[in-house]
Amino acid sequence: MKALCWCGKKNVQVQNVDDPKIINPRDALVRITTTAICGSDLHLYDGYIPTMEKGDVLGHEFMGVVEEVGGGVGNLKKGDRVVVPFTIACGNCFFCQRQLWSACDNSNPNAWMMEKAYGFTGSGLFGYSHMMGGYAGGQAEYVRVPFADVGPLKVPEELEDEQVIFLTDIFPTGYMAAENCNIQKGDTVAIWGAGPVGQFAIRSAKMLGAEQVVSIDHYPKRLKMAAEGGAIPIDFNDEYVYERLLDLTGGRGPDACIDAVGLEAHGTTPDALYDRVKAATFMATDRLHVLRQAIHCCRKGGTVSVPGVYAGFLDKVPMGAAFGKGLTFKMGQTHMHKYLKPLLEHVRAGRIDPRFVITHRAKLDQAAEMYALFAGKKDECIKVLLKP
């Protein structure tokens, strides 16, 4: 089959690889009909996530049709149309049973690696480095889905791929980011990053009852999309973010702040370690700036919610401000399985049409080109869909 392979920093190639097959009883094989490129894929593309190996198949946002199921999968059959959550979870462990799906104990074959780095392992992820399990991803024609009896969700025929594909990651991710803000009536939520995750966080915050949502970025097209979703846009190149947020909240500050940008430069690869030392030496990079700014701007007793990916160590985190104001921090990989059904319901009921975020559609063969375009934020690119 054809699959997009990681061949090193800024080098991805569509190659012919073996077809995947059922390995474990709880596996399913899915023929992919639509897949997407995520901001998280850019961290791999830019070489910031350690434990990638040349030839790894990328992609964690995908959906398709079940081709075959293992003996342990009773709830799916050949021909079912499914969306597949990007986190892989067993459904039976302490964490899965507490809805902490991305903390699953049993789905990472390389648990020891993450344990060494973080103290404990998280769940396996599709196409996201060997530390996260090394599972082949879904920017391909076919994919093997482990624990398919608890992950994939059947989607109704009347909804087309483009309406449900974002249930595989960015809609739940934006939604959990907003949910983590514990939004109360009248609240203001400020969201850094108007990429796809930021866009869904804006709409989710609105759905969860935020009175005022503010979106901070510097790409006009993205800020325009944010405004269309009901947010007040701030271009951080034109305005002082802190001052503007105080103006918008009567001097009190936002009740919650979401960092939907993340911090590429902090991994454990040698170059990331070097960046880390640089960050310590020269104070900060732009991206560190987001988390600091979110902490700085948040009102006393407020919440800082972090869906943006961090991988290593942070320097110059204003812990004094966080402590002094009694902030709450919420973060992590999305507990995907918890959100699939309720968010599908929102789509089905027409409360949100996730297609708004799509700016580019291409063939899987053009994936390398589309990665470069999305990474460079060229051609006003916000979200790319690929068809095998």
Partner 1 sequence: MTSWFSGILPNDELHAPLEHLPRRHRQKNVGALERTISVLAGGLLVGEGLKRLSLPGLAAAAVGAHLVRRGATGHCGMYHALNVTSVEEDSKLLSHPLHQHIRVHKVMTVNKPAGEVYAFWRDLENLPRFMQHLERVSVTGEKTSHWVARGPRERVVEWDAELVEDKPGEVISWKSVGGSQVPNAGEVRFKGLSEGRGTEVHVLLMYDPPAGVLGALYARLFGAEPGQQVKEDLRRFKQLMEAGELPTIEGQPQGQC
Ligand X SMILES: NC(=O)c1ccc[n+]([C@@H]2O[C@H](COP(=O)([O-])OP(=O)(O)OC[C@H]3O[C@@H](n4cnc5c(N)ncnc54)[C@H](O)[C@@H]3O)[C@@H](O)[C@H]2O)c1
- Residue numbers at the binding site for partner 1 (CB under 8 A): 1, 3, 5-8, 11, 13, 15, 17-21, 23-26, 53-57, 72, 88, 90-94, 97, 105-109, 111-113, 116-117, 124, 133-136, 140, 144, 146-147, 268, 270, 273-274, 276-278, 280-281
Smallest CA-to-CA distance from 187 within 288, 296, 305, 347 is with 305
Helical spans, DSSP H, in 82-169: 111-118, 161-164
Q: From Zn ion, ligand X, partner 1, none, which one binds at residue 270 (CB under 5 to 8 Å depending on kind)?
A: partner 1
Q: At closest approach, how far in Å is the CB of 191 from ligand X? A: 9
Q: At closest approach, how far in Å is the CB of 317 from partner 1? A: 17
If the CB atoms of residues 9 and 330 are measured against partner 1, the closer one turns out to be: 9
If the CB atoms of residues 142 and 175 are measured against partner 1, the closer one turns out to be: 142
Q: From Zn ion, ligand X, partner 1, none, which one binds at residue 197 (CB under 5 to 8 Å depending on kind)?
A: ligand X
Provide the binding-site residues for ligand X, judged by CB under 6 A. 38-40, 42-43, 169-170, 173, 192-198, 216-219, 222, 236, 260-262, 286-287, 289-290, 307-309, 333-334
Give residue 192's Cα distance to chain centre. 14
Q: At closest approach, how far in Å is the CB of 16 from ligand X? A: 28
Q: At closest approach, how far in Å is the CB of 31 from ligand X? A: 24
Q: At closest approach, how far in Å is the CB of 292 from partner 1? A: 20
Side-chain-side CA neighbours of residue 26 (13 Å)? 14
Smallest CA-to-CA distance from 139 within 169, 109, 184 is with 169
- Collect all residues with Cβ–Cβ distance below 8 Å to 151 and sequence separation of at least 6: 84, 85, 88, 89, 145, 337
Q: At closest approach, how far in Å is the CB of 190 from ligand X? A: 10
Is residue 96 at the binding interface for Zn ion, with CB under 5 A as the rule?
A: yes
Cα distances (angstroms) measured from residue 267 to each of 17, 118, 137, 170, 286: 29, 12, 21, 22, 16
Q: At closest approach, how far in Å is the CB of 366 from partner 1? A: 17
How far the first Cα of the chain sits from its last, in Å, is: 10
Detail the DSSP E strand segments found in 243-297: 256-259
Q: From Zn ion, ligand X, partner 1, none, which one binds at residue 158 (CB under 5 to 8 Å depending on kind)?
A: none
If the CB atoms of residues 195 and 233 are measured against Zn ion, the closer one turns out to be: 195
If the CB atoms of residues 83 and 89 are measured against partner 1, the closer one turns out to be: 89
- Collect all residues with Cβ–Cβ distance below 8 Å to 90 and sequence separation of at least 6: 96, 104, 105, 106, 107, 147, 150
Largest pairwise CA distance in the chain: 60
Residues 192/216, Cβ–Cβ less than 8 Å: yes
Residue 192 — φ and ψ, nearest 5°?
A: -85, 130
Using CB under 5 A, which of 90, 131, 205, 311 touches Zn ion?
Answer: 90
If the CB atoms of residues 78 and 116 are measured against partner 1, the closer one turns out to be: 116
Is residue 40 at the binding interface for Zn ion, with CB under 5 A as the rule?
A: yes
Smallest CA-to-CA distance from 175 within 350, 343, 360 is with 343
Q: Which residues pair with 240 in a beta bridge?
A: none
Q: At closest approach, how far in Å is the CB of 311 from partner 1? A: 13
Is residue 332 at the binding interface for Zn ion, with CB under 5 A as the rule?
A: no
Kindly state the tokens that stand for 257: 């702040």
Q: At closest approach, how far in Å is the CB of 275 from partner 1? A: 10
Q: From partner 1, ligand X, Zn ion, none, which one binds at residue 141 (CB under 5 to 8 Å depending on kind)?
A: none
If the CB atoms of residues 73 and 234 are measured against ligand X, the closer one turns out to be: 234
> What is the C-alpha to C-alpha distance for residues 310 and 303, in angstroms, rounded to an integer?
18
Residues at the interface with Zn ion (CB under 5 A): 38, 40, 89-90, 93, 96, 104, 106, 169
